[in-house]
Amino acid sequence: MKFGVVVFPGSNCDADCYHVIDKVLEQPVTYLWHGHDDLQGVDCIIVPGGFSYGDYLRTGSIARFSPVMNKVVDFGKKGGLILGICNGFQILTEAGLLPGALIRNPSLQFRCENAYLRVERADTPFTNEFTRGQVIQIPIAHGEGSYVADEETLKRIEDNGQVLFRYCNARGEITPEANPNGSLHNIAGIINDEGNVLGMMPHPERCSEKILGGEDGLLLFKSLVKWWMGGAGR
């Protein structure tokens, strides 16, 4: 299963994602330069975290106009697998591949810490290696990670089961105290209507090896490969 990691000016988690795919997951991976519009035949695109274009104007709002993003949007609309992490999630909402928006944390703080997440569904290409209701720990690192959407959109994504991860406490309870950034409904990650595009604020690539203090993130990458090898790729 061939992965592509998009690189914008200001991306800073691109090499971490590449490393996990290459050395831990042991799958083929290539970088996709923002200025090119060639997806190199990849099966899954990762839009990594960082500060694309310095977060000017609004996070993700400039990156969304990069030549590569035209192809990423086409790919997603045709059912291609896309994973947007942190700034990647922000870019995917700006590009219209995911509903809602990420705004500045109400605390006005850049939050860099471990967060507990509850896995809401285990029947998707991104979460089949987890169990439903599983509590996992994944680091967050962002200043603009507060998920918002209008009431109608929020109801639609909840009714459709598009929320895959919610911030919770160590016991898996969804509480305001466990919410690091004021996201509506404690939302940490959502998929699109069709289920092939995931955006999440926490960083699975930062907890995919024991030496980094945890491997919960690796299950997400493994889910993609399992789903692909299980028939989706043929």
Ligand X SMILES: NC(=O)CC[C@H](N)C(=O)O
47 vs 129: CA distance, rounded Å: 21
37 vs 68: CA distance, rounded Å: 4
Based on the residue annotation, tell me whether 203 is a catalytic residue of this protein.
yes
For 173-216, what is the HEC assignment?
CCCCCCCCCCCHHHEEEEECCCCCEEEECCCHHHHCEHHHCECC
159 phi/psi in degrees, rounded to 5: -65, -35
For the chain, state the CA radius of gyration: 16
What part of residues 81-110 is at the interface with ligand X (CB under 6 A)?
86-87
Residue showing the smallest CB distance to ligand X in the complex: 49
Residue (of 144, 123, 117) closest to 191 by Cα position: 123
Does 183 engage in binding with ligand X (CB under 6 A)?
Answer: no
Among 6, 117, 141, 190, binds ligand X (CB under 6 A): 141
Provide the minimum distance between the beta carbon of 143 and ligand X in the complex, in angstroms, as a whole number.
Answer: 4
Does 202 engage in binding with ligand X (CB under 6 A)?
Answer: no
Q: Which is nearer to ligand X, 21 or 225 (CB)?
A: 21
Among 99, 100, 139, 145, binds ligand X (CB under 6 A): 145
Does 50 engage in binding with ligand X (CB under 6 A)?
Answer: yes
Among 20, 29, 59, 186, binds ligand X (CB under 6 A): 59
CB 127 within 8 A of CB 84: no
**Binding-residue pattern over the window 3 to 42 for ligand X, x denoting contact by CB under 6 A:** ----------------------------------------
Q: Which of 86, 129, 144, 207 is catalytic?
A: 86
Provide the minimum distance between the beta carbon of 31 and ligand X in the complex, in angstroms, as a whole number.
Answer: 17
144 vs 64: CA distance, rounded Å: 16
Provide the 8-state DSSP code for 50: B
Based on the residue annotation, tell me whether 168 is a catalytic residue of this protein.
no
Residues interacting with ligand X, by CB under 6 A? 49-51, 55, 59, 86-87, 141-145
- Please identify every residue annotated as catalytic: 86, 203, 205
